[in-house]
A and B are shown apart, each in its own frame.
Chain A
């Protein structure tokens, strides 16, 4: 039996990506990175800003996400996210703009701890892409 499963990524505007030949997905879950393989237990979790890595038969793909919810059930991984970018066709200017916004966000004085944590994560991730 093959160890491939299905992944679906949807954002509010459209179904972003759908693949059936995925071997492994690493997602930036809220409490740390999480690798998902076939026959993982059903799980619901949400994401912090970070990189989704998809290992598929057709190659490896990386995406940047702002936030999201993942649901894994019956060997289908659904990822709902409001903002997603393919690292391959991300532009330098766009990246810098995002980084600047994130830094501004994290430097706000009246920000709550959780938001601060998220913003810092965002800054770190964006820096690592650069």
Chain B
């Protein structure tokens, strides 16, 4: 049995850990509020963008001549996967969930004999993927210095993706991120952004007769690159809200576990103190009796 001193030390150390996790939980809760706000505020933009593109692409007459970002390069051989993760750890299963989703997708591609290229955004994803897929990672982007997800960062990623697409380095692009549902639940998502999935779930087949200025093709080719950045930005916003949510619940759990541990250790401490006292008393009494 550990000595009294050891137990005392352990209790203090667990208590100070508990203080840290509690503080982290508070910080995450405050940040979550902000991240959630901006995720909600960012939604109209990406939704509107999507709507316009849907309207445009349904109006396009010649599917063959459509921009490649919309119709694809005609092949499905090389897949680019953009895996969005956080830059910091201690957020429960947040990163692990994305990685798991991504890895199962990679395995599927492997089986089908497709070529795989990976871009990781956020250092945690890079850390976890580089062991197995190190030679497939073509770029690692990290926005450690930006406090919040902002559009310029998303645009940077978007530009890289589009640039690579124009150089025909890949055919299909998929992004992986966590969709924020609530504090406890985040759903890992795989979303294909190139070629764009134009099948809308809610069919609003209203035949809108739009006037276009300049013509459809030009607007589309202007709009599609923007849409890539917008989709990435949306993913980043969802991700940052999810990250804070996941961290909050993870830290809440940690705080509770630390509390339980302190209770258990205190009981053990008291017991062994009692035992020591009893032992001393027995020694004294038996010493007095022997006189």
Contacts and interface: CB of A to CB of B under 8 A. Distances in A.
Nearest to A67: B226
A73 interface: yes
Given A44-B55, A46-B223, A78-B48, A12 B212 contact: no
Interface in A10-48: 10-15, 29-31, 34, 41-46
Interface residues of B, number: 29
Nearest to A68: B226
B213 A45 contact: yes
A41 B151 contact: no
Contact of A80 (B49, B155, B210, B219): B49
A95 interface: no
B209 A13 contact: no
Given A13-B42, A14-B38, A69 B52 contact: yes
Contact of A46 (B44, B46, B210, B222): B222
User: What does DSSP make chain B's interface, helix, strand, loop or mixed?
Assistant: helix
Interface string B200-228: 00000000111111100001001100100
A107 interface: no
A44 B209 CA distance: 10
Interface in B112-131: none
A101 interface: no
The 9 closest A-B pairs by CB, nearest first: A14-B41, A12-B151, A45-B213, A43-B211, A10-B45, A42-B210, A10-B44, A12-B45, A44-B210
B56 interface: yes
Contacts of A14: 38, 41-42
Nearest to A29: B213
Given A12-B151, A12-B230, A13-B150, A30 B214 contact: yes
A82 interface: yes
B233 interface: yes
Contact of B213 (A8, A10, A11, A30): A30
Contacts of A8: 44
Contacts of B222: 46
Contacts of A43: 210-213
A13 B44 CA distance: 9
Interface size classification for chain A: 20 to 34
A73 B208 contact: yes
Contacts of B214: 30-31, 45
Contacts of B150: 13
A12 B211 contact: no
Given A10-B44, A12-B46, A80-B48, 10 more contacts: A11-B45, A12-B45, A12-B230, A13-B42, A13-B150, A42-B208, A43-B211, A44-B219, A46-B219, A69-B226
A71 interface: yes
Interface in B32-60: 38, 41-42, 44-46, 48-49, 51-52, 55-56
B42 A71 contact: no
Nearest to B46: A12
Contacts of B209: 41-42
A12 B42 contact: yes
Contacts of A45: 212-214, 219
Interface in B44-83: 44-46, 48-49, 51-52, 55-56
The residue in B45, B55, B155, B209 that gathers the most chain A C-beta atoms within 10 A of its C-beta is B45
Interface string A92-104: 0000000000000
Nearest to B38: A13
Interface in B1-57: 38, 41-42, 44-46, 48-49, 51-52, 55-56
